[in-house]
Structure 1
Amino acid sequence: MATIIYPAPIFGPVHSRRLGISLGINLMPADGKICTFDCIYCECGFNGDNQPKSGRPSRKEVADGLEAKLREMGAEGIVPDVLTFAGNGEPTAHPQFAEIINDTIELRNRYCPKAKVSVLSNSTRAHLSDVHDALMLVDNNILKLDTVDMEYINRVDRPVGTGYDVDKIIESMRSFNGNVIIQTMFMKGTANGESVDNTGDKYVTPWLEALKYISPREVMIYTIDRETPEHGLKKATKEELDGIRDRVIASGIPCTASY
């Protein structure tokens, strides 16, 4: 399995299907994965497969690394479209996430003022006041909602620990008052002999109702692009993604599909 463990604290730039030229900011250890989900489709592998021996980068290490990279890119005439918090796990789990967001915005304003600051989050900590306030400051607050079906979530997204409640997650998303982008993975195939196909009406219709309630600025839907730790998974088709995208747009919410 070709899992991807990203360098820390800065990686790239890489070309994102959804965001353009993206300079990555990884707040997790450089030698492993720490996440509040253990998704069966995660390109970084299962949580237990890549347990880190080092710690998370400090606030200063993140700021110093980002500034050095932005200076290097500027000297080469490369300007990022976006500074993206992603990497080996859930970025909002860093204990100084809010402070790091403030540092990043300051550095963005100094070195690449047209670039957007994006956070890719699984939504598990978006209800916390410091995380919520920090996410309100970024340009693209991208929160995951693969489905509203708890059985599917427990089988596919696999929240770590207890207490995950999708209804509370939806309320948290709604509390951003539209300053949120919802990101959803659609896929097919099987895991442990059970279907993980969430492209049909059983999953799409209630998910769409949740989107109407949340009223996000935008929805991004996508499918598997790299090798996954669970080998029975398959891509959703372009036709399936286009159909789901069109249903979202018909409800009055902008939506893009990545194949």
Structure 2
Amino acid sequence: MTVIYPSPIFGPVHSRRLGVSLGINLLPSDGKVCSFDCIYCECGFNTDHRPTKALPTREEVREALEVRLKDMKVNGPSPDVLTFAGNGEPTAHPHFPEIIEDTLLLRDKYFPEAKVSVLSNSTFIHRPSVFEALNKVDNNILKLDTVDENYIHLVDRPAGKYSVSEIIELLKEFKGNCIIQTMFMKGNYLDKEVDNTSDKYVLPWLEAVKAITPRQVMIYTIDRETPDHDLQKASHEELDRIATLVKETGIPVSVSY
């Protein structure tokens, strides 16, 4: 079943990786807007879920977030994290940097111990204002599924121009202040194998991770139903093997099975 999130606030949900997470969706509530069209996305393919509603405004996000945080202050639960996620790429919102400023202020006011996280596919980090905003949050969780250009275009299916080598250079600019997130999976898509758990994919990816020097790597596999049904989870053993390789570099790693 495809998941389309309410906008601008949803949850809290219990996140495998982040704990009690209050979601912030900067995309329309009736569809998906993303610069990737990943074959494993729980929100489905872009073409299947074209939104008719507008993006929430900065003011709408701020007001809805404050109402929800006030309610959680009185009635619970306390959030571990405020997470920018939802129906597509949050950094695509034209007022993403200003919304981050608002969110940090509201977090400090109501739940100063909570973290602010952004789940991003890294496609807008070339914009200085987006890069700067991502540097201000507690957890900027940035996608790098592989360093193989063909695999990216088959699986992540970026819209428009995309260069994985350029993305890696931009990720290095965070100077360690970032978290790299990678989806490992198996199966087939359009009669092509999409298994990125073998050394052919893992070892070049590991070299890129070492060059980026993130403060953490998050590796995960398929958890919910995917729009393409020939995809399979990576096994515990495969994920553990990859995690061990990351640990050997000295970079902390978490695994979500």
Normalised by the length of structure 2, the TM-score is: 0.99
Identity %: 65
* 1:205 aligns to 2:206 (yes or no): no
Q: Which residue of 2 aligns with 1:217?
A: 215
- Residues 20-79 of structure 1, C-alpha deviation per residue, up to 9 Å, x if partnerless? 000000000000000000000000000000000001000000000000001111111311
CA–CA distance in structure 1, aligned partners of residues 192 and 93 of structure 2: 34
Q: Which residue of 1 aligns with 2:62?
A: 63
CA–CA distance in structure 1, aligned partners of residues 229 and 191 of structure 2: 11
Counterpart of 1:256 (choices 228, 232, 254) is 254
CA–CA distance in structure 2, aligned partners of residues 152 and 218 of structure 1: 23
Counterpart of 2:234 (choices 236, 245, 248) is 236
Q: Which residue of 1 aligns with 2:93?
A: 94
Q: Which residue of 1 aligns with 2:27?
A: 28
| Runs (5+) with no aligned partner, structure 2 | none
- Residues 203-245 of structure 1, C-alpha deviation per residue, up to 9 Å, x if partnerless? 0000000000000000000000000001100000011001100
Q: Which residue of 1 aligns with 2:139?
A: 140
- Residues 64-114 of structure 1, C-alpha deviation per residue, up to 9 Å, x if partnerless? 000000111111131100000000000000000000000000000000000
* 1:119 aligns to 2:96 (yes or no): no
Q: Which residue of 2 aligns with 1:74?
A: 73
- Residues 186-213 of structure 1, C-alpha deviation per residue, up to 9 Å, x if partnerless? 0001111111000000000000000000
Q: Which residue of 1 aligns with 2:128?
A: 129
CA–CA distance in structure 1, aligned partners of residues 112 and 249 of structure 2: 34
CA–CA distance in structure 1, aligned partners of residues 5 and 77 of structure 2: 21
Q: Which residue of 1 aligns with 2:50?
A: 51
CA–CA distance in structure 1, aligned partners of residues 132 and 113 of structure 2: 22
CA–CA distance in structure 2, aligned partners of residues 114 and 231 of structure 1: 40
SS of 2:136's partner is coil
One-letter code of the match for 1:202? K
Alignment of 1:3-14 (within 5 A): 3-14=2-13
One-letter code of the match for 1:93? A
One-letter code of the match for 2:23? G
**Aligned residue-pair number:** 257
Q: Which residue of 2 aligns with 1:176?
A: 174
CA–CA distance in structure 1, aligned partners of residues 94 and 66 of structure 2: 21
| Runs (5+) with no aligned partner, structure 1 | none
CA-atom RMSD in angstroms: 0.5
